[in-house]
Structure 1
Amino acid sequence: MPRPDLTIAIGTPNACNQCHEKESPQWADNYITKWYGEKRKPHFGTAFALAREADKNALDDIIQISKNGLYPAIVRATAVFLLANYRINESLDAVTWALNDDEPLVRYNAVRAFNSRDQQLLLKNLSPLLNDPIKSIRMEAGFKLSVLPAERIPTTKKKVLQKALEEYVDAMNYSADFSGSQHNLGIFYSNLQNDEQAAKHYYEAIKIDSLFFPAKANLSVTLNKLGRNDEAEVILRDLIKTHPEFYDSYYSLGLLLAEKKDYDGAVTYLQKASILMPERSRILYNLGLMLQFLKRNDEAGKALLSALKIEPENFDYLYALADHYIKINKAEEAKKYAERLKTNFPTSGVGEQILDYLEKTSK
């Protein structure tokens, strides 16, 4: 049955309006309701639309879909891939479960979605897939494990990992006339800490497709690591010009300009980034520190307070505000944040040290 109601809800096409092009989805939905009644079966597309925005209300549905064998493999694989948008234990547990699925497409997307900073967890869960009968799964597992230092790889796994990495590089080189393959090689060599080689492949990706912004973003980071900040600045300014909707580039350029001691320029781009991404507290924190350095104290205080409002128990933000008020001789304000540091982070000792300092200097 056609679902114009889903067109209204999430923008997917429907069969009715493919013919009745001049009519609205609401018109089509009215007829579906007239003919078949108001009841509609739940559709995975609704959950997928929410999951693409990392809406937590969809998480339970996405996990259920990923595990429900009544759905086609492509639907379950999509659900598993979307779990990567949720960086919490429940989603990682579901992805881990999917690593052992009977369907190769589900396993492949589980490897792609398996994101953890815990190196032991990566090794434990992904190394068995280096022996998977499906080449694409072996390659993806090898790629994910390439972030691990060589000394972390058990002797029993080194040979099979090396084979998977060779398969990955061969596959990317085979399609090296595509920007995506060059970009993937750039990430691969970044994982291996070979930044010169990574930069080469990112440049190749941009040469193939001058509008391929992921390569530009990663290239700017790699060039910064190599100390080639003038090149990185050119790349970021070009990225902002060609893809102004990629807001992270404003933040990256602000940080880069601060590193290059162009402090006024840094403030300009950090301010832009804070407006474009108001939920990103770290941007406001860095902006506050930069304004403080420039002695623009009122603006600095506002930025730091805005950061703390988003994350009220962030150690760095509490410390920055205590330090800020000490520097502008507002001891009572500084004391307030020092006390919060002492309460929330008693083992650090920092809050108590600041309070001791304030007591001594008040005498």
Structure 2
Amino acid sequence: MIFRLFALPLGLYLQLFSVSLVHAQPDFVGSETCIACHKDQAEAWRGSHHDLAWTEPSADTILGDFENTEFTHQGVTSKFSKDGDSFIIETEGPDGEMTKFPVKAVLGVAPLQQYAVETEPGRLQSFDIPWDVPQQEWFHMYPDQNLPAGDGYHWTGPYKTWNARCAECHATDYQRNYDAATRQYSSTQSEIGVGCEACHGPGSSHVDWANDVPIRERVHGLSDKGLMVDYAAGDAETEIQQCASCHARREPLLGGSPVAGTPFHDAYRLSTLRAPLYEPDGQILDEVYVYGSFLQSKMYDRGVTCSNCHDVHAANRVAEGNAVCTQCHSPAANPDFKTLKAVDYDTPEHHFHAQDSEGAQCKNCHMIERTYMGVDGRRDHSFRVPRPDLTVKTDAPNACNDCHTDQSPQWAARQLDKQFPNSKYRGTHFSETFHAVQQGTPDQGRALADIALYEGLPAIVRASALEMILPYATPELATDLQGLLTHEDALIRAHAVAVQRSASSTTMVQNLVPMLDDARRAVRIAAARELLSAPIARLPSAMDKALKSAMAEWQSSLLVKADFPETQLVLAGIGLTTRNYASARSAFAEAVELDPQLVQAWVMMVRIDAALEGPEKVRETLRSALELNPSDPNLRALQAQLDAN
């Protein structure tokens, strides 16, 4: 059978089939309640990047110059001024007309501060001209882009909507609350900014404990102190996954902030090491934040946590310069990490640069820096050994040539050979296969399978190989990789699922039906996605219930992201798969309503119209598409074909 829930109109999805993600839990009480007892933590947190992630506009919070200043970009002059207590941005609005917008939200504090305005009731858009705090000037985050009003990537477009893309990680208990029928938001949060309960969970039961009030039913397994997350227990993975809920490039599966302690793979689908997000060797390329890098590191493998290097309340490093690293990597080592070598690394014998120079800084060799949002430098957290030899093979950058820009990678490789002869860090590397895949080299299936099966590699590398293998997959490879469906790591399990589409239909169903009961939502959804069009005549009752439940979870994960144009493309694909062409066309139409430059959606609408409606409807659709994308070659080719007939 084909699962028919997806054949229903979008409005009925929302009413009938959304999975309830809200469970009984303690109440949010606000950070001010916590401060009364936790004064030291509060003092560290107050004024931190977490505290100031989102603030109300005021003379105390706004750092930008609103004294009738101007900034011109691509012929549009934006003006920054005050009107009484309001801070005003006058700029090109969603209709292309110059409009005055009061600042509604202040976003961040350094090295840049961005501002959000309300373009319609409830909808906040993050403005592309932020304030450079160190340089004390306005700048445009995308100086080379010329995006007119109506473009999906214009600051008023869906990819810059604060409610959808950003707010979840700048607030506590944020819920997007998007109404797909009206395209309006009624977003809520318990607290703007990343407060205590963003990481520790709602605190009412903990307050009861502190006041000797009996703790009510522990529906989420509350600790003895009434906390939903017990960091004192010392579980590294709990801490890391909590930080990762924001410090990761990922696709959300829920409609807002997951309650603290929610396992990462219950709330998100992590982006793998694919282009253009990462370099072939896994170094950061696009803005991927930290988690995907850290998962590649030996430090993660050895049990290092975020709080070993960062003060989680002050949101800064626990020490300055090399002292962050030498708290462990030193002659004294660190007894908490038994595999550490007791070696002095902060010496010219190791880094072979002048002491205290830029070249002697651990981070400059082992944590390359890339700049995002125009001025925000971020460090790669994979803590890798520089490999200029791989630059020669894969074009991935290396830390040596980041500084020695006047030298070649071959020169850098020779220097390392001299300094570290017979190094174990010279062998073959997964990046050579990933680079070959990116170059379109045929017959990479076996090499990718070997990477996926190799237990010595990080799980994110193996999951990335599983994702890349799909164009090369065969029934034989599906059989070879079948064992990864039960791997202990949810990221590997989730990406092993799709490989089974290359098995016979019977084998695929047999292998994937058990995945519908997996412990992690991301895996269950992956299985539901693959089973959507499976030729299933009948399932035993328990399996049928599991299938319906996983399908409903998938539906819910899509419907809470109905404001994402890319989600509409997925819904359209589901309509095509289930042969519900009216539903598919409706989703394609919603996609171009949100982002008129999604030419692939226009093309599919034309094809559906040609099959179902006839030439007049095709001409109407093409006319609308070309009005918004007049120079697109694909649309012009379709127009030429229509004219020829």
Q: TM-score, normalised by structure 1?
A: 0.60
Match of 2:471 in 1: 85
Match of 1:187 in 2: 573
Q: Provide the C-alpha distance between the structure 1 equivalents of 2:521 and 2:582, rounded to a whole number of angstroms.
A: 28
CA offset at residue 77 of structure 1?
0.6
CA offset at residue 253 of structure 1?
5.0
Q: Provide the C-alpha distance between the structure 1 equivalents of 2:610 and 2:536, rounded to a whole number of angstroms.
A: 24
Distance 1:218 1:97, change over 3 A: farther
* Counterpart residue type for residue 507 of structure 2: L
Pick the aligned partner of 2:408 from 24, 38, 41. Answer: 24
- The answer to whether the 8 Å contact 2:473/2:499 transfers is no
Q: Provide the C-alpha distance between the structure 2 equivalents of 1:44 and 1:198, rounded to a whole number of angstroms.
A: 39
Q: Provide the C-alpha distance between the structure 1 equivalents of 2:606 and 2:487, rounded to a whole number of angstroms.
A: 38
Pick the aligned partner of 2:507 from 121, 125, 138. Answer: 121
* Counterpart residue type for residue 231 of structure 1: V
| Residue pairs, 1:194-205, within 5 angstroms | 194-205=580-591
* Deviations 1:260-280, CA, capped at 9 Å, x for gaps: 7946xxxxxxxxxxxxxxxxx
- The answer to whether the 8 Å contact 1:169/1:185 transfers is no
Distance 1:27 1:211, change over 3 A: farther
* Counterpart residue type for residue 84 of structure 1: L
CA offset at residue 12 of structure 1?
1.3
Match of 2:390 in 1: 6
Match of 1:284 in 2: none
CA offset at residue 139 of structure 1?
1.3
- The answer to whether the 8 Å contact 1:2/1:16 transfers is yes
CA offset at residue 170 of structure 1?
0.9
CA offset at residue 29 of structure 1?
2.8
CA offset at residue 165 of structure 1?
1.4
| Residue pairs, 1:37-52, within 5 angstroms | 37=421, 40-52=426-438
- The answer to whether the 8 Å contact 1:217/1:236 transfers is no
Q: Provide the C-alpha distance between the structure 2 equivalents of 1:217 and 1:152, rounded to a whole number of angstroms.
A: 36
* Counterpart residue type for residue 485 of structure 2: L
CA offset at residue 56 of structure 1?
4.3
CA offset at residue 116 of structure 1?
3.5
| Residue pairs, 1:43-122, within 5 angstroms | 43-53=429-439, 55-56=441-442, 58-116=444-502, 118-122=504-508
Name stretches of at least 5 consecutive residues in structure 2 with no aligned partner: 1-384
Distance 1:205 1:54, change over 3 A: same
| Residue pairs, 1:1-363, within 5 angstroms | 1-37=385-421, 40-53=426-439, 55-56=441-442, 58-116=444-502, 118-148=504-534, 151=537, 156-216=542-602, 218-228=604-614, 230-231=617-618, 234=622, 253=638, 257=641, 262=644
CA offset at residue 189 of structure 1?
2.4
SS in 2 for 1:99: helix
* Deviations 1:132-152, CA, capped at 9 Å, x for gaps: 111111112112211135645
SS in 2 for 1:147: coil
* Deviations 1:43-102, CA, capped at 9 Å, x for gaps: 111111123455345433321211111111101111111111204233322343322222
RMSD: 3.5
Distance 1:148 1:208, change over 3 A: same
Q: Could you list the structure 1 runs, at least 4 aligned residues long, displaced by more than 6 angstroms after superposition.
A: 239-243
Q: Provide the C-alpha distance between the structure 1 equivalents of 2:475 and 2:416, rounded to a whole number of angstroms.
A: 41
Distance 1:150 1:96, change over 3 A: closer
Q: Provide the C-alpha distance between the structure 2 equivalents of 1:80 and 1:205, rounded to a whole number of angstroms.
A: 29
Q: Provide the C-alpha distance between the structure 2 equivalents of 1:59 and 1:50, rounded to a whole number of angstroms.
A: 11
* Deviations 1:225-277, CA, capped at 9 Å, x for gaps: 43456538829986997665x8xx89x959x94xx7946xxxxxxxxxxxxxx
Identity percentage over the alignment? 27
Q: Provide the C-alpha distance between the structure 2 equivalents of 1:25 and 1:228, rounded to a whole number of angstroms.
A: 59
Distance 1:182 1:237, change over 3 A: closer
- The answer to whether the 8 Å contact 1:202/1:216 transfers is yes
SS in 1 for 2:501: coil
Distance 1:181 1:70, change over 3 A: same
SS in 2 for 1:62: helix
Is the strand fraction higher in 1 or 2? 2
Distance 1:169 1:237, change over 3 A: same
- The answer to whether the 8 Å contact 1:236/1:253 transfers is no
Q: Provide the C-alpha distance between the structure 1 equivalents of 2:436 and 2:399, rounded to a whole number of angstroms.
A: 23
Distance 1:216 1:114, change over 3 A: farther
CA offset at residue 36 of structure 1?
3.4
Distance 1:17 1:210, change over 3 A: farther
Match of 2:271 in 1: none
SS in 1 for 2:469: helix
CA offset at residue 184 of structure 1?
1.3
Is the helix fraction higher in 1 or 2? 1
Distance 1:79 1:217, change over 3 A: farther
- The answer to whether the 8 Å contact 2:478/2:503 transfers is no
SS in 2 for 1:66: helix
SS in 1 for 2:596: coil
- The answer to whether the 8 Å contact 2:475/2:504 transfers is no
Match of 2:365 in 1: none
Name stretches of at least 5 consecutive residues in structure 1 with no aligned partner: 264-363
Match of 1:280 in 2: none
- The answer to whether the 8 Å contact 2:475/2:503 transfers is no
Q: Provide the C-alpha distance between the structure 2 equivalents of 1:17 and 1:79, rounded to a whole number of angstroms.
A: 28
- The answer to whether the 8 Å contact 1:84/1:114 transfers is no
CA offset at residue 156 of structure 1?
4.6
- The answer to whether the 8 Å contact 2:597/2:629 transfers is no
Distance 1:186 1:125, change over 3 A: same
* Counterpart residue type for residue 106 of structure 1: I
Distance 1:61 1:235, change over 3 A: farther
SS in 2 for 1:128: helix
Aligned residues: 256
- The answer to whether the 8 Å contact 1:183/1:202 transfers is yes
